[in-house]
Amino acid sequence: MAAENKGLNEWTIRHLHISPGDKVLEVGYGPGYGIDYLTKKVY
Region of residue 28 (phi > 0: left; psi between -120 and 50: alpha; otherwise: beta)? left
CB atoms near residue 38 (< 10 Å): 19
| Contact status, residue 1 vs residue 9, Cβ threshold 8 Å | no
CB atoms near residue 1 (< 10 Å): 8
pLDDT of res. 29: 78
Instruction: Give the domain extent around 32.
Output: 2-42
What's the total number of domains in the chain? 1
Please compute, for residue 5, the number of CA atoms within 13 A of its CA located in the half-sphere on the CB side.
13
| Contact status, residue 41 vs residue 13, Cβ threshold 8 Å | yes
Residues 1-43: tens digit of each pLDDT = 778 888 998 999 899 989 889 998 888 878 888 888 888 887 6
